Each structure stands twice: as C-alpha cells, then as structure tokens.
Amino acid sequence: MDVITPDWPAPTQVRALTTTRDGGLSERFYASLNLGSHVGDNALSVQQNREYLFKHAELPSQPFWLDQIHSIKVVENTNENCVTPIQADASFAKKKGLVCAVMTADCLPILLCNKQGSVVAALHAGWRGLLAGVVENTINQLGEPEELLAWCGPAIGPGKFEVGIEVEKAFVEKKTIMKQAFQQVDQSHFLADLYALARMTLLDCGVKNIFGGEYCTYNQANKFYSYRREPITGRMASLIWIQP
C-alpha cells in the first residue's frame, strides 16, 4: 500500500497518513484503493479496501468515517466505531487510539495536532468549506491556535482549479488579502489556489506552523483520484490519531 506520511514536526505519539489510489481491490474508474462508499463502486470492494487499510496501516481502531456535506460541522470522535456516519466535515479526538478521517478527491484534507500531542483533528476543506468556516470552527473546538500544527494534504493544484467569478468575489469579500489566491483566466473565470486560501485562513486563526501543500491531485493521475479530471472516481483518505 502506497501512502504519504506528513513531513511535519508532530509529537511522536501523533500518527498520520494519506492514502493514494494504489494498493486496493477496486477496478475500472475506482482502481484501486477507493475508500469512498458513496461514489458508485462495488460495496464489497470498498469494504475490503477499508479492511486492507486498517490492517496494513496498523490502525488502533477503525477510522471514524464522516458523511461529508461541504459544511462547517465539527464532531468529536469519542467512539471506536460508528455504524452510521455522521454528517460533518471535520472531527477531532482527545483520546488515544481513535482515528479521525476525511475523504477527498481534489478537495483539501487538513490535519491538525497540538504540540503536546493531546488532540488531533481531520478536516475536509473544499472551497465551500473554506469559505464557510470549517477551519475556524474546528480551531475553535481545539483552542490555543498558537499551539497547533497543520498539514495540508493532496489537493487540486492552483494551475487546474478553475472557478467562477462568484467564488473569487465571495472570498475577497470574506478577506481582501485572499484575492492573492486567484489568477484571472477571463472576465468570468479564475484559477484558485486552495493551498493559499487554507494557509491564509490558518494564519488568520493564529496557526503559524503550517506544512504540506506540494501535490496536485489533477496532474498526478497515477497517484491520486481527481473529481475534476474524472467525475466518476474514487476517494483517498487522510487519517490522524494519537497512538495508544
């Protein structure tokens, strides 16, 4: 199984990874390690892929999967298993051995932990979530932003993420400096930099230790799923937990 391990100075008890599309049993559009149960893939393949992840990543518990809806809702992961996924776009855990997880295929996964290694969080941050405040809402739950570390996982890169003028306008109205994250294509379209928008938001919240942001899911077809590149596709997962 091919995974990405964040390059950040997290405490030794904090473990984190992002899966790639390589290493599972799914076929065709979903080849091969699709972890999303909502994208039309064979349900048994997804279940087997999740079990493969659990085993080969040596997770201390099953991931706390969310029903992601591009919201700002944040929930605390307090149980080792959740049969019915909760509608939310971020989760955090303060107990050891509980795995927070988000799924993406162009949207930005953000992983957070504090310098003490006593709390971790996983965020699903597409442009809607970033605009609405999923980052701010999560940090409010964690407290002491100056003590937090953030890692931005694989997302669509700034050269491939085209949005309408209404998206650019909404971010600039939120904070003028965010105009720097947009490059105009024509009168009604811009290229948006999700990584830059996330960094600005994190910094504005008081988080100064920010890492990651070097991938492009659209351009790296052999490594990542991309909804913009292939609307019928799988999902990667970004996971974080405190090791028991």
Q: Which domains are seen in the chain, by residue range?
A: 3-156+208-242 (3.60.140.10)
Question: How far apart (Å, rounded) are the C-alpha atoms in residues 220 and 86?
Answer: 31
Asked if residue 210 lies in contact with residue 203, where contact means CB atoms within 8 angstroms, the answer is: yes
Residue 231 pLDDT > 80: yes
CA dihedral 201, 133, 143, 17 (to 10 degrees): -70
**What pLDDT is attached to residue 141?**
95
The model's pLDDT over 181-216, given as tens digits with 9 standing for 90+, comes to 999 999 999 999 999 999 999 999 999 999 999 999
**For 76, how many CA atoms within 13 A lie in the half-sphere containing its CB?**
9
Single pTM value for the model: 0.98
Which of left, alpha, beta for 160 (phi over 0: left; psi -120 to 50: alpha)?
alpha
CA dihedral 73, 78, 80, 82 (to 10 degrees): -40
- pLDDT-derived band at 84 (thresholds 50, 70, 90) equals confident
